[in-house]
Each structure stands twice: as C-alpha cells, then as structure tokens.
Copies of this chain bind each other. A is one copy, B any other.
C-alpha cells in the first residue's frame, strides 16, 4: 500500500437517520484498512471542526472489522453529533485550512444530505481557487431518509426508514381493521418536497400485506374535493368500513401552497426551509367537517428516522459499503466528489455499486418521485415504483439486545 500523506477527518451533519452511523462505520473501516496514522472524528460536524473538537477514532475502533464497528452501524442517529451550520464564506474555509495544517489533515469526509454536499462543493471550489494551499481530498457521503439526492439511485438511510414506515403502516392497518364502524385514519409521513417515504407506505399492499388505501405525495397537486370524493367512493363501493390514508407532510394544492399552510407557524429553520406541521391534523378536521365519520390522524414523527430496532439489512450493508467506497474514491486522488449508488439489475437480480459523482451537480438539487411512479388519480403508487422500492427494504439485521432493549454504541 502506498504511503498516505496526511490524516483523515470525518463528520456527520443534518438530520439523524438509522443508517448514518453505518456509513460512519464504513468510513472508519476504510480509513483503518488504508492505514491512516490519525483518524479524527469532528464532534457536531463542521462546528466541531472549527472548534477543534475532535475524537481520536482509533481509540475506539481497533480493526476494520471489529465488533464495535458493528455496534456503531446498528446505532441510530449521529454518534459524532450533528449540526445545521452552513459553510458560509471563504473566511470560514480559510479557517478550516488552518486547522487542516495544524492537524496534518488531507482527507475530509462529510456524511450528510443536500446541505452537507453544499459544504463539500464550497470547500472544493475554494481549493480550486487557491491552488497553492495544501492538497486536500474533500469527499461527500450521502445520508438522508428523504431519498431526494440526485445522481444516486437512492440514499443511505432511506431503505431502513422505508421499511419502518411500511411495517408500521401494515401494523396500523391491522389496528384499524378490528372495528366495524366507519373510520378514517390519516398517517402523516415526513417529506417536504419529495414523497419517497410516503410512497414506501404502499409497499405492504404490493407484497401481499395490508397497506393504506390512499397515498398522497407532494409531487401531485392535492385537491380537497377529490380527496373527499375518494373517501366517499371507498365507503360506498369498498368492502371495508375503515380507510387508511398515507400523506406527505408537504402536500400542496394546485397553486403550490401547502395544504396545511394555515396551520403552519411560518417559522423557517436555519437553512431557510419552511417548518411544516399539522398536515395530518388539517385533513383530520377536513374529514370530520365534510364526512362526519370517526377520524383520527397519526404523525409517525421522528420515530421514522431513528428506529434502529427495525433496519433494512440491504440499507445497512450498502451504507457501510458507501462509507468504505468514499475512502477508496479519496485514495484514488479525487476531490469534490460524492460517493453514490448505481443500481444494476441483471436477470431480475438487484445489485448496487459505488461510483463517484461531482458534488457540485448534487448540492441544492432535489430528486422528486417521477410521474411514472404515481398512479393516474394521483392517490397511489405504480408497479414500477414498487419494483424500485422493493430491493431497498430487504433483509433484517441481527440487533444486539441487552436487558430487553437494543444495545447502542456511544463515544
């Protein structure tokens, strides 16, 4: 193995997922295999980098396949901590370069979503404009339950969230089925701009289980009248007294206004995203007013992004692989790249390779659910969508339990 020049640093950013620690485990494993002298972990992303708040990861993980890395990969949320800090300007980048010099860091791995890729893009842009600075390798590693990053077939963390949502929906449908009274249950699922998670609620129907009757994504204009018509139609012509609806938090009307606009606080988060709440509750009140039957709404809330007790093995295996792949990409001399998933389906058999994509083309883009994945009425998913989703939720991880509860790694 060629001698590596400099040390590595890795950080996590953005919202927690059930798989972001598996990706961290992959990066650490890759770095241990590569023989880095020092592998630093930034505490709370670039906030920790700027404060020189580092963990010496070799103190925790002795070999590329030690059992602590397996524990880490089954632990939800960001073990190193996260931040919402944006890389704002050249001044901040210059400050980071001082720290890279001080700690002899040449390899920078940042695991996160859209905004994290923006940070990697800005750092590599800064490097290009300042060719006299030390040679750095800035590599982004994807993470988001939302599955809305472009140039990657899917994102680490999505498969586990999708599995949890599909399994929980199936259970809730069973729960709703016990009574003979007319009732509507509305389940609100995360997704501001892209409906991937809500689409996955439909998986149970497609594989012979029981899923929701209606599915509404942000990609289709939502009509309150059509919604009420669909419910009435199901009550009159369907065979069941209960109806279950899966709905994205971010559904909008034909003018692009959030359906629950009135219920929203109007606050924005530090990235300028509108804070959403109350779509399920809004529709619950609508059904009560317009139909008058028993109705309730359920918000799966943060459980859908941190349910480490129900992981997709495919997702966790791939999340480890993309972490290791990111190290390989860096060692091949690249910078300003994101390690991405490329799907191969040969004779119906799914596989997934790691490829390097230009991070500039990824940051600030959103991959929406394509039209061919949504049914004609805009209230369900198609077979093509099921074919896309199905391999991503396959397999279960062997979770370690202690005293009846999942055992979690922590620093």
Could you list which residues of chain A lie within 8 angstroms of chain B, going by C-beta atoms? 12, 16, 44, 47, 75-78, 81-84, 163, 166-168, 170-172, 174-175, 177-180, 203-204, 207-210, 298-303, 305-310, 312, 390, 393-396, 401-408, 410
Shortest Cβ gap from A72 to chain B (Å): 12
Q: Do the beta carbons of A204 and B390 come within 8 Å of each other? A: no
Q: B203 contacts A405, CB within 8 Å? A: yes
Chain B residues contacting A77 (CB-CB under 8 Å) are 171, 174-175, 177-178
Q: Which residues of chain B are near A83, meaning CB under 8 Å?
A: 179-180
Which among B16, B204, B395 is the interface contact of A174 at CB below 8 angstroms? B16
Chain B residue nearest to A307 in the complex (CB): B171
**CB-based nearest B residue for A399:** B396
In the bound complex, do residue B81 and residue A207 qualify as a contact, i.e. CB atoms below 8 Å apart? no
Across the interface, which residues of B come within 8 angstroms of A76, CB to CB? 171, 174-175
Q: Is the CB of A174 within 8 A of B306?
A: yes
Q: Which of A44, A307, A310, A410 has most B Cβ within 10 Å?
A: A307
Q: Is the CB of B405 within 8 A of A209?
A: yes
A44 contact set on B, CB distance < 8 A: 178-180
Indicate if the CB atoms of B405 and A207 lie closer than 8 Å.
yes
C-alpha spacing A82/B166, complex, angstroms:
24
| CA–CA, A203 and B404, complex, Å | 9
A82 contacts across to B, CB distance below 8 A: 178-179
A163 to B303, CA, bound (A): 15
Report Cα–Cα, A16/B176, bound state, in Å: 9
Contact A177 B81 (CB under 8 A): yes
How far is B179's CA from A84's CA once the two chains are assembled, in angstroms?
Answer: 8
| Measured CA separation A167–B403 after assembly (Å) | 11
With a cutoff of 8 Å between Cβ atoms, the chain B residues found around residue A403 in the complex are 203, 207-208, 390, 393-394
* Nearest B residue (CB) for A206: B403
Given contacts A302-B175, A303-B298, A309-B167, contact A180 B406 (CB under 8 A): no
- Of B177, B180, B203, B310, the residue contacting A309 (CB under 8 A) is B310
- Which single member of B305, B307, B408 contacts A168 (CB below 8 Å)? B307
Which residues on the B side are within 8 Å of A303 (C-beta)? 168, 171-172, 298, 300, 303
Pairwise interchain contact A408-B306, C-beta atoms closer than 8 A: no
Tell me how far the C-beta of A207 lies from the nearest C-beta in chain B, rounded to whole angstroms: 4
Smallest CB-CB separation from A169: which chain B residue? B405
A270 closest partner in B (C-beta): B181
Q: Which of B75, B170, B299 contacts A301 (CB 8 A)?
A: B299
Sort A-B residue pairs by CB-CB distance and give the 6 closest, nearest first: A207-B403, A393-B404, A77-B174, A175-B306, A82-B178, A171-B306
Known: A301-B299, A303-B303. A175 touches B405 (CB 8 A): no
Contact B405–A393 (Cβ < 8 Å): yes
A168: B residues at CB distance < 8 A: 303, 307, 309
User: In the complex, which residues of chain B have a beta carbon less than 8 angstroms from the beta carbon of A16?
Assistant: 174-175, 178
